[in-house]
Amino acid sequence: MTGLTTNRQAVPVDALDLRLITATQSGLPLVPRPYHAIAEQIGLSVEEVMARLTRMLETGAIRRIGLVPNHYALGYRANGMSVWDVADDRVVELGEQIGSLVFVSHCYVRPRCLPLWPYNLFAMLHGKSREEVTAYAEEIRALLGEACGASDILYSRGILKKTGLRIT
């Protein structure tokens, strides 16, 4: 249980990328030409700013550009981590399908931790009530079929800490 394996693949970012990340990680300015404003702020041309952002988006260093809503303000009060014991030879194929369901925000394969923890597939579910989350879990259960044994839903009882990515 001490191995730290992951599918991370670091992509090279240089000092100018870092300046760009630092200048934009808390958000874009809400002005008609936000990339011009950023360019001026960090002393690059707007072409350079847009080219670097485009490249980071292509390499996956940027996941997406857009708005990040507050779940709770949208009425998504039930936040459940659903966990599933899925046959190893099918977990990748089924994980792809579950990750693409509209109500799943994150989906991962993780190691089991036997005997306490038999689950290897994690899917985060967000709903307006626990009943809604339970119904989503039923859809996942149906999709997994016989490939899945035990499952559970761990509801959040509170956020104790949440900090975003901080590039230093």
Partner 1 sequence: MAGVRRRPKHRKGSPPPATPVLDATPAGPVPLDEIERRIINGLQGGFPIRERPFLEAATTLGLGEDELIERIERLFKLGVLTRFGPLFNADRLGGINVLAAMALPESDFDRVAAFVNAQPEIAHNYRREHQFNLWFVGAAETPEKVESTFHYIESVSGYPVYRFPKEREFFVELKLHV
Selection from 14, 17, 13, 36 nearest residue 25 by Cα: 17
Q: Which of 28, 37, 42, 147 binds partner 1 (CB under 8 A)?
A: 28
The CA dihedral of 138, 142, 148, 151, to the nearest 10 degrees, is 0
Q: Which of 87, 113, 135, 143 binds partner 1 (CB under 8 A)?
A: 113
* Residue 4 engages partner 1 in binding (rule: CB under 8 A): yes
Q: Which of 42, 87, 99, 146 binds partner 1 (CB under 8 A)?
A: 99
Sign of the C-alpha dihedral computed for residues 84, 88, 90 and 94 taken in this order: positive
Output the six-digit token pair for 138. Answer: 């039923």
CB of 71 to partner 1, least distance (A): 7
* Residue 142 engages partner 1 in binding (rule: CB under 8 A): no
* Single-letter residue type at 19: R
* Residue 145 engages partner 1 in binding (rule: CB under 8 A): no
User: Under a CB-based contact definition with an 8 Å cutoff, are residues 120 and 91 in contact?
Assistant: yes
Q: Which of 40, 96, 141, 143 binds partner 1 (CB under 8 A)?
A: 96
Please, which residue, 117 or 141, has the CB nearer to partner 1?
117
